[in-house]
A and B are shown apart, each in its own frame.
Chain A
Amino acid sequence: EVQLLESGGGLVQPGGSLRLSCAASGFTFSSYAMSWVRQAPGKGLEWVSAISGSGGSTYYADSVKGRFTISRDNSKNTLYLQMNSLRAEDTAVYYCAKSLAARSSADGMDVWGQGTTVTVSS
């Protein structure tokens, strides 16, 4: 069964840092680009960042560029999101998601984790 399991969310003060992880199973992890998508309370979906299967290409939304870093460890089948200089507006549920097609670039997302909650507040 294809599965994604996020962890690492929590309460952090403004200006603080947090690292999210997403453990993948049931598919050839290194063949697929992966994304982080977030959803602020009561709001819609916002794509945050993506990384190619090899990890050689990364992409960011303007709202997080320079503060967040996406990475992956294909030997551990794990995706990461390092979040620095956190702001109140980063408060959201963060989902990791698998790209639809192998070796694709921009793509739809066919498998999603259950989400991990990040709250930025003093």
Chain B
Amino acid sequence: DIQMTQSPSTLSASVGDRVTITCRASQSISSWLAWYQQKPGKAPKLLIYKASSLESGVPSRFSGSGSGTEFTLTISSLQPDDFATYYCQQYNSYPLTFGPGTKVDIK
């Protein structure tokens, strides 16, 4: 099974900050990676797929990069609505696996 790790586990930031979250896979997954945002009590929301493709309707301040085993999610200028937990997920092969999550909270 492919293991996913994320760093940091928690990130404290201010509105307007540039934020970067890293996701690593235990083996190469090419670009088969998605990023999700989840707020408390709500379902996850797809932000990025195929490592760098922005899902329709997602603000352009979100971007993804990487391939192989190392990936990043960047928020160019953090907005109040962006305080949430972010998960990466590989879909190179079954079983699908998620990273443990990165909580972005207010500094």
Contacts and interface: CB of A to CB of B under 8 A. Distances in A.
B12 interface: no
Contacts of A105: 94
Contacts of B55: 110
Contacts of A62: 1, 95
Interface string A46-58: 1100100000000
A109 B87 CA distance: 12
B96 interface: yes
B32 A106 contact: yes
Given A95-B43, A107-B91, A113-B43, A44 B96 contact: no
B78 to A, nearest CB: 22
Given A112-B44, A114-B43, A61 B95 contact: yes
B93 interface: yes
Interface residues of B, number: 25
Interface in A84-118: 95, 100, 105-110, 112-115
B19 interface: no
A100 B54 CA distance: 13
Nearest to A62: B95
Contacts of B49: 100, 108, 110
B95 A44 contact: no
A27 interface: no
Given A106-B91, A108-B89, A108-B91, A50 B96 contact: yes
A109 B94 contact: no
Interface string B32-71: 1010101000011110011000010000000000000000
Interface of B: 1, 32, 34, 36, 38, 43-46, 49-50, 55, 87, 89, 91-101
Interface of A: 35, 37, 44-47, 50, 59-62, 95, 100, 105-110, 112-115
Given A59-B95, A106-B93, 9 more contacts: A37-B44, A44-B99, A45-B101, A60-B95, A61-B95, A100-B46, A100-B49, A106-B94, A113-B43
- The 4 A-B pairs at the shortest CB distance, nearest first, are namely A108-B34, A112-B43, A47-B96, A59-B94
